[in-house]
Structure 1
């Protein structure tokens, strides 16, 4: 069975499933397409956190480099023109596909009709939920945040809809209520990697392995995610404290994370402002004073960055 792989160069789930694909018997990976979004598209789609104010740890390490793994195994690595899988690849890849199947893992692009011709048979997408529920973005986060009794993942056929194609393989993980998001992520990564060869066996035999369908079929958007995390005057103190207690931070409207709550009160505040204690954040029923760091005193942060904290 010849397959192609679509994923992001430094995405941990792309790397996990790509590496496992190389180990499956009777499977030959013919190429890897980098699905990383163009910087301007990424910035428009995702609200960026100000790195100069809040260093963020990414998985961009040598062990999560799909390009390097391709080089080590002699696999062609494609970066589409204009970062578009739909239009930026050699025309022969669309008109005369060299692979039976394509596996997608870690891709923020929606494939159009031309991209769906990259495989002779089917294009399969990996998704962090028990479909059809929790379609869309940040699905693993939403399952964890909503304390779902079942958390799992799906491999499904790709069509022109969002996460709605026929399901090929599904599974769930064992988890403990109240378990950390990091622990859930690791379990999902491990279980998903272990399922890759089973997925290819399902494609080979035509059998599907699914779990009992969820009652609901919900779609979650990027806007819903940032709406939950962001403090603004329409939110109550309970709203923000609930997010903070669960996640350990919340966001200002400019995307800056508040990692420590220093004080709160019932006085009405019109707009965010700086004090030497922290950033004063107006809410519907009062205000919160917070800091961008759990360790560094806020007066030092204000001295260094001043009003940039509010820009």
Structure 2
């Protein structure tokens, strides 16, 4: 999924208390680790609490992603356990190549001044195959928008801004395309001319799934760590530094799978253009794809 401009990467200690009922509406964010469809979703929970908990979860991003499940749960000591149910799908609207996750949450209640929060983690499985785990993530929920905004502002040092930040130095960086990378030799597979700075990579297994795992680097900077190559594509969104013409994408083999070498198909989405590249990496050579940025000239 497309994400908002900030992604929560750190949560804080809980002051646990269940003296107050958690029934009602909660609004917040749910993250997903690199390799998932996106990094941050909007999330709403509507909870009813008696001896057990039941209600509805609603994850969304604009009009392109709308996922609504019925859920149930319980409280055990200091943890709130909530589980969405595949049998209670109320809405499942995602882009064609995506699959919704049936999520399980483990949350804790915290009160900070007048603000109430539920924080914790989630994991889940795809609706198309319950044996396929989703990339997990974290959750922050508040009773109010004011409380949520207060959390994001107070903890801005623990947020990653995914929108490009202003660069004070007008001089472009000098890329390091040295012939050795993590004790391997970068091997050029192809060079692709791109016209957009905002790009997406999809990585998918084009042969038998055998637990290949790769890490992806842009200009020798880590984009995503330990992506398991599967039939369901892993999606990475990134932005080019427009001061540079040539950029390097490396797919480093973290392992060779059950049948060496490490193989995958990389799909680069540049606006309306799609480029497919077959990738082969091993412990001696790392596949390198070069992107040459040439923006379209504006009509006068």
Fold conserved between structures, TM > 0.5: no
Q: Which has the higher strand share?
A: 2
Q: Which has the higher helix share?
A: 1
